[in-house]
Amino acid sequence: MNEKYPFSEIEPRWQACWNEHSAFKTDLSDIAQKYYCLMMFPYPSGKLHVGHGRNYIIGDAVVRYKKMHGFNVLSPMGWDAFGLPAENAAIKTGTPPRESTLKNIAVMKEQLAAWGCCYDWDKEVTSCEPEYYKWTQWLFIQLFNRGLAYKKKSNVNWCPSCATVLANEQVVEGLCDRCDSVVVQKALEQWFFKITDYAQRLLDDIDKLEGWPERVKTMQRNWIGRSEGTEVDFALVPRDDGALDKSDKVSCFTTRVDTICGCTYMVLAPEYAHLKEMVAGLPQEKEVLQFIADSAKLTNLDRESDVLEKKGVFTGRYAINPFTGEPVPLWVGDYVLMYGTGAVMAVPAHDTRDWAFAKKYNLPIKLSIQNPERSLVLTEMDSAYTGDGMCSDSGIFTGLPNRDAIDAMTKHADTHGFGKGTINFRLRDWLISRQRYWGAPIPIVYCDRCGMVPVNDEDLPVLLPTDVEFKPTGESPLKGSNAFMNCSCPKCGDPARRESDTMDTFVDSSWYFLRYLNARDGSQAIDTAACNNWLPVDQYIGGIEHAILHLLYARFFTKVIHDLGLISFDEPFNRLFTQGMICKKSDFDGKLYKMSKSKGNVVSPNELIENYGADTVRLYTLFIGPPEKEAEWNDSAVEGSFRFLARIWRRVWQHRDLLLASKTLVPDLGKMEKPERDLYRKLNESVQKITHDLDGAFHFHTAISTIMELMNAIDETKLDENSSDQAKAVFRDAIEKVIVLISPFAPHIAEELWKELGHTGGILSAKWPETVEAALHRDKIQMALQVNGKVRGQITVPSAATKEEIEKLAVTDEAVIKWTEGKTIKKIIVVPGRLVNVAAG
RNA sequence: GCCCGGGUGGCGAAAUGGCAGACGCAAGGGACUUAAAAUCCCUUGACCGAAAGGUCGUGCGGGUUCGAGUCCCGCCCCGGGCACCA
């Protein structure tokens, strides 16, 4: 052993040792004390930076911590390997996606190892490999057979730059979440998963997710967006020319049916189903058609912008308000979305948007709610009244409190057959087809005789062809491969053509956590028994950016697979931890951003590991702040973590002979003098606090600061050969525990020092220390003395002192006498173990 | 607009209603050294004071309490999610 902390020598050695001894291989049959710790599998983009590292370092710390508690921990890793970047690289450089992806995987695997992050690589999954995507395709077919995968033509989000469609979830503020291009609407035939069938269950079961952060649950609730309201049918006033309509009514959805008697017009979405037929041959037809065409040109961004003025045109048609019997004009407006029924009733007096629209187009306004002060007068209003009140001018409902009227009027509509209570969700079906190469081919065949036919199980996987061009044309590159496209119908054997679209990569990641349990199993997608034994996942760790997309899709898939009878549980993740992003000031504009190449603020771990070692990078990453919060990377603060590890190393080195010689000594409270008793107390207080910090909220940063405090206390202890046996015993115990306590964070140095202290068997087999309760006891305690809430002194009292004794000591204290002079003592509050407050006045 | 988080030294931060700023970074001073690095020791919220000590201090304004960073009410600011969703 040497004075200098030899991180570069010990780290590769221990990494090799963990590898050789299969320290992280998990026997799936041992489930007595199982713990499934899952980290979100990465996209193999090339190189990991320290921002990515936070995820794996936190995960590895949890895995090691749980192992030391005796759990049989499963910690697998894999690769979310399909996706656009590899394909874009292929377009640029000509390197086939699979080749570049596998190369990246190899690099990243080495990086994880260099961090000391260990996984059971026997269970590795790679979503772009046929042994994996065969089963993604198989699952697609299961959804197809259940009617949960369907194809339809609809307006979809189209990214012109990626030349592919996007799911709603992948459009952020009207922009493509990959390349920031403005997303446009295009009418295309696309594949969808019917996630809306599961909307209510996905919403209800959020309540079951006790181990999830509240904010993630809120985001999911918002995204699902349930709203309760009433659907009301307005009968269409027949056309003057006697031509018949396809539908004789217009239904609208409203959450404020209580205001319906103030409805003075209706507005239809430009995409409303029968709109074109409704206006055919009318004088307004031309204008309406022009309006529809203009609206279609609007990008999502335009349409969602606040500043955009609401526009509309009159259709020439009328419908009857069933509550008043009055006809109201039908308009078409660009602010009405195909949500609910695609038609809204407009109540300008009580809705801000309708007010603005009515004022602009000079439409009538009618009050149907009177405020509690009964002071609403239309001619004096300059905005809509959206508050509560009494129904007014509302026929038999006049005088009813409006909140009660919602129920009453919904019931009335139901009884009379022109409406009903309805629930609407904001959630749309999940668009999963992509016109791109690097994804799992959708296993469907088009046969002239049989139509759409799923590929037979025995013919899976439908392999991605390799003889294709990667140019983005808006059509799938798979179409260019005749060998791929031409096939025979699985049903009748006639010549047929394959579906050329591939699946969204989020499909691959929606079930990978199940596949780890039988990654090499060629006979089935899911091993029911293994899954039921090991799932739900005990702890899932990943980035907050997946709060909606991945986590919602994974929940959906779990429910579908549950309904297929393949697993017994219907929520995948018991506890979820979302770590905050690591940010750094950009080299370009000095602003704080999430680490990314494009912002020029990436810190590469390789150099840091070379200069300070992996343990330092790990310790700093965990010490940087509360792990759920964003953190700013500070290069100079890394030094502090290095100094601390070097200090532990040095301390063991300095006392190595003494530490080895005292190996057989055992701390005995009864024989301790004060200094070692104090250190022994500090040690046990630390064990208690650290365990608490890690068990609860993963507060690694406070756990580490507690180890630092303990180390400070150890350093204050003077020790040499002449010290008592108890002093030596406690010193050794404290040093040993520091090593054990820090081992989940800095495993290499812990292993090495553990060995230096004469232990055989790795530190993972060391048990996590337990608090010796008796050691926490104090004979005397210091208490703060307050007068009127201000600290004026300190007293030391026997820990067994009664309240009365403490009070007596307090009032005779010099400082208290001084500060209460001329006042009468009204009250004395004793907070056991903390302080005494004398209230005087 | 609605729904979540936050706002504490020069910085990252800590604090079951109970001594605000633990722990670390940075900075300053000192020891060791020919020197540097490393290490060790000291100082470091603001203001007043020679010192002892005192006053103020957790975004702002009120309140509850013996006692508020923490609880309640009303604002301001920052971050995130949703949003012409009827």
Q: What is the pLDDT of residue A308?
A: 61
Give distance CA A643 / C1' B29 (Å).
21
Closest CA-bearing residue to C1' of B83: A304
Q: What is the pLDDT of residue A180?
A: 78
Give distance CA A833 / C1' B65 (Å).
20
Closest nucleotide (C1' vs CA) to A338 is B85
Inter-residue contact A368 to A394 (CB < 8 Å): yes
Give distance CA A83 / C1' B61 (Å).
54
Closest nucleotide (C1' vs CA) to A333 is B84
Closest nucleotide (C1' vs CA) to A704 is B23
Give distance CA A29 / C1' B27 (Å).
57
Closest nucleotide (C1' vs CA) to A630 is B79
Give distance CA A708 / C1' B14 (Å).
14
Closest nucleotide (C1' vs CA) to A818 is B53
Dist. CA A481–CA A341, nearest whole Å: 42
Per run of 10 residues, the mean pLDDT along chain A (length 841 residues) is 90 95 93 95 89 92 96 97 86 88 95 95 96 98 96 82 75 75 80 93 90 88 89 93 89 93 94 90 93 74 58 93 94 89 93 90 92 84 86 92 91 94 90 90 95 95 90 80 94 94 94 97 96 96 87 95 97 93 76 75 87 95 92 88 95 91 91 92 95 90 96 89 90 95 97 94 93 91 89 88 89 87 87 89 79
Give distance CA A779 / C1' B42 (Å).
32
For residue A36 the two structure tokens come to: 């499934």
Q: What is the pLDDT of residue A590?
A: 66
Closest CA-bearing residue to C1' of B81: A219
Closest nucleotide (C1' vs CA) to A785 is B19
Q: What is the pLDDT of residue A334?
A: 87
Closest CA-bearing residue to C1' of B24: A640
Give distance CA A339 / C1' B23 (Å).
53
Q: Which long-range contacts (CB under 8 A, 24 or more apart) does A761-764 make?
A: A762/A17, A762/A18, A762/A21, A762/A23, A763/A739, A764/A23, A764/A64, A764/A67, A764/A68
Give distance CA A838 / C1' B17 (Å).
17
Closest nucleotide (C1' vs CA) to A254 is B86
Q: How far is CA A363 from CA A249, A383, A420, A720, in A?
A: 22, 14, 28, 94
Look at the block and give the residue holding tokens 């017994």: A568
Q: What is the pLDDT of residue A187?
A: 78
Q: What is the pLDDT of residue A411?
A: 94
Closest CA-bearing residue to C1' of B14: A702
- Which residues, other chains included, contact A567 with Cβ-Cβ below 8 Å and sequence gap of 6+? A514, A526, A528, A531, A532, A535, A558, A561
Closest CA-bearing residue to C1' of B67: A789
Task: Give the rounded distance of the alpha carbon of A157 from its chain centre.
Answer: 23
Closest nucleotide (C1' vs CA) to A831 is B18
Give, as ranges, the nucleotides of chain B with any atom within 7 Å of a protein CB. Answer: 3-5, 11-16, 18-20, 22-26, 38-41, 54-55, 66-68, 79-86
Q: What is the pLDDT of residue A302?
A: 56
The distance in angstroms from the start CA to the end CA of chain A is 66
Nearest to A828 by CA among A799, A801, A809: A809
Closest CA-bearing residue to C1' of B2: A222
Strand partners, A786: A791, A837
Taking each helix axis as running N to C, give the angle between helix A614-623 and helix A635-654, from 0 to 180 degrees, rounded to the nearest 10. Answer: 120
Q: How far is CA A359 from CA A319, A336, A362, A365, A464, in A?
A: 21, 17, 5, 9, 58
Nearest to A737 by CA among A717, A760, A709, A707: A707
Helix (H, G, I), strand (E, B) or coil at A838: strand
Beta strands per DSSP E along A448-591: 451-454, 486-488, 495-498, 502-503, 539-543, 576-579, 582-585
Q: Is the dihedral of CA A689, A694, A699, A705 positive or negative?
A: positive
Give distance CA A437 / C1' B22 (Å).
55
Dist. CA A557–CA A563, nearest whole Å: 10
Inter-residue contact A543 to A579 (CB < 8 Å): yes
Closest nucleotide (C1' vs CA) to A351 is B86
Give distance CA A279 / C1' B31 (Å).
94
Give distance CA A703 / C1' B65 (Å).
33
Q: What is the pLDDT of residue A300?
A: 52
Give distance CA A116 / C1' B12 (Å).
25
Look at the block and give the residue holding tokens 């187009």: A361
Give distance CA A134 / C1' B56 (Å).
70
Give distance CA A630 / C1' B13 (Å).
13
Taking each helix axis as running N to C, give the angle between helix A605-612 and helix A614-623, from 0 to 180 degrees, rounded to the nearest 10. Answer: 110
Closest nucleotide (C1' vs CA) to A837 is B66
For residue A196 the two structure tokens come to: 């809306």
Q: What is the pLDDT of residue A636?
A: 85
Closest nucleotide (C1' vs CA) to A339 is B85
Q: What is the pLDDT of residue A169?
A: 66
Q: What is the DSSP letter of A416?
A: T
Closest CA-bearing residue to C1' of B80: A215
Q: What is the pLDDT of residue A273?
A: 87
Closest CA-bearing residue to C1' of B65: A789
Give distance CA A827 / C1' B74 (Å).
33
